[in-house]
């Protein structure tokens, strides 16, 4: 377990540089989840560390395989200085702990909701899980274990989340692209969905 997390942290440092802050949260009955903050110009990147220690298990499986199964860490990128986005640490850790707590398998296209603003004053309570391989390349762990995927989280307003449930993740992402939506703006308004 610790060897996986060491490799994950090394991959994050190699890709994003040295973290300028880190925090750790432990929820009852779960392994510790850390959140690292990286500064890239005016963009703050928050990455989880700990979610990939164990593979995510199918909640319907009778016995979880300790080696096989998807592994992931979560990333969220926002423009700094526009909101107190450091408060995203706890919601991000909650989302990273959800496979252990709720048996959720986090995968691209999924919606995850924390039930409260991601940071003070944020118009977002949920995120869309984006495709891996963009910002941080997958981390191969060898033949016996699935790779660690670094999944970007895209904040959604409640209206966007509802629209996504009806039309799907691809349609929402296409709408964001068509309208030139700045998904890193921590105070952006929801995209027009008419």
pTM of the model: 0.92
Q: What is the pLDDT along the chain (194 residues), one digit of tens a residue?
A: 568 999 999 999 999 999 999 999 888 777 889 999 999 999 999 999 999 998 987 666 666 666 778 999 999 999 998 899 999 999 999 999 988 888 889 999 999 999 999 999 999 999 999 999 889 999 998 878 889 999 999 999 999 999 999 999 999 999 999 999 999 999 999 998 87
Inter-residue contact 73 to 177 (CB < 8 Å):
no
Is 113 in a helix, a strand, or coil? strand
DSSP labels for 116-130? S-SSTT-S-SEEEE-
pLDDT for the residue numbered 148? 95
Per DSSP (E only), the strands in 71-176 are 71-79, 111-113, 126-129, 148-156
Residue-level pLDDT at 29: 74
Question: Cα separations (Å) of 25 from 56, 72, 88, 119, 161?
Answer: 19, 17, 12, 16, 27
Helices (H) then strands (E): counts for the chain: 4, 7
Q: Which parts of 17-157 fold into alpha helices (H)?
A: 89-102
């Amino acid at each position: 377990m610790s060897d996986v997390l060491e490799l994950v942290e090394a991959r994050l440092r190699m890709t994003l540089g040295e973290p300028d802050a880190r925090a750790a949260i432990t929820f009852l009955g779960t392994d510790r989840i850390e959140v690292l903050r990286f500064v890239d110009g005016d963009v703050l990147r928050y990455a989880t560390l700990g979610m990939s220690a164990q593979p995510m298990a199918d909640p319907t499986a009778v016995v979880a395989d300790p080696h096989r199964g998807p592994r992931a860490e979560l990333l969220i990128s926002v423009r700094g200085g526009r909101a107190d986005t450091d408060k995203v640490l706890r919601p991000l850790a909650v989302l990273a702990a959800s496979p252990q707590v709720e048996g959720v398998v986090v995968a691209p296209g999924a919606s995850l909701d924390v039930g409260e603003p991601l940071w003070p004053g944020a118009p977002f309570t949920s995120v869309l899980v984006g495709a891996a391989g963009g910002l941080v390349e997958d981390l191969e762990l060898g033949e016996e274990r699935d790779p660690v995927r670094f999944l970007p989280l895209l904040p959604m307003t409640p209206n966007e989340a509802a629209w996504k449930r009806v039309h799907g993740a691809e349609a929402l992402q296409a709408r964001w692209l068509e309208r030139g939506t700045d998904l890193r703006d921590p105070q952006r308004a929801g995209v027009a969905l008419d």
